[in-house]
Amino acid sequence: MRVIILYDNNAQTGFESGWGFSCLLDHTQRILFDTGDDGRKLINNFGKASIDPSTVNKVVLSHNHWDHIDGLKGFQKFNSEAEVIHPDGFSAPTEISPGIFSTGALGGNPKEQSLVVKTKKGNIVVTGCAHPGLERILQTAKKLGPVYGVLGGFHGFSKFAELEGIRLIAPCHCTQHTEQIRQEYPNQFKQIMAGSILEI
């Protein structure tokens, strides 16, 4: 499986940055998770990554905040066929594609879903902002099997012991304690930004 970061507050040379998050999961299907806050920048980064937006099968929106959904209309100009899965679509973990699960809507304001991707190494958890609490998201994900990695926005998460045993830790976007996480888990920490590719 590959994860391509297409939108983040920071970007590699040639990619555009913007406040928000989006990544593409290249697995059994191509699933776009969130769309950032600017469709033009998102589509530009698709091009920089040499990925055709029309090849995306589904779009999963983590939660209804502008920095995760405002790029959708721009994306749909290039792909109007991809199914859009909204954060209130499921109330419990649900398989949305072979080997890829939504955690279902967690939290209250806003409701937010994350993704759990099954790989040979273990489950990969992909978060938008982790408003419900990363620890709660991980607890839900563990119901589907051992967690190998977690990536995305961690927001104000500070219960660092909850990451014990996870082999890949890749916070970005809205994460407030990135440096502390890096110090706690230097061997597991992976810096990601728009343009980053993770091969798992």
DSSP 110-126: S-B--EEEEETTEEEEE
CATH number at residue 71: 3.60.15.10
Mean pLDDT to the nearest integer, 99-110: 96
- Is 21 within 8 Å of 45 (Cβ atoms)? no
Residues of the chain with pLDDT > 70, as a percent, come to 100
Determine the structural domain holding residue 55 and report its residue range: 2-199
- Is 23 within 8 Å of 114 (Cβ atoms)? no
Give the three-state DSSP class for 175.
coil
Domain count, the chain: 1
Nearest to 111 by CA among 91, 96, 97: 91
- Indicate the pTM of the whole model: 0.97
pLDDT digits (tens, 9 = 90+) for 142-197: 999 999 999 999 999 999 999 999 999 999 999 999 999 999 999 999 999 999 99
pLDDT band, residue 50 (cuts 50/70/90) = very high
Nearest to 54 by CA among 43, 65, 64, 40: 43
- Separation CA 173–CA 46 (nearest Å): 18
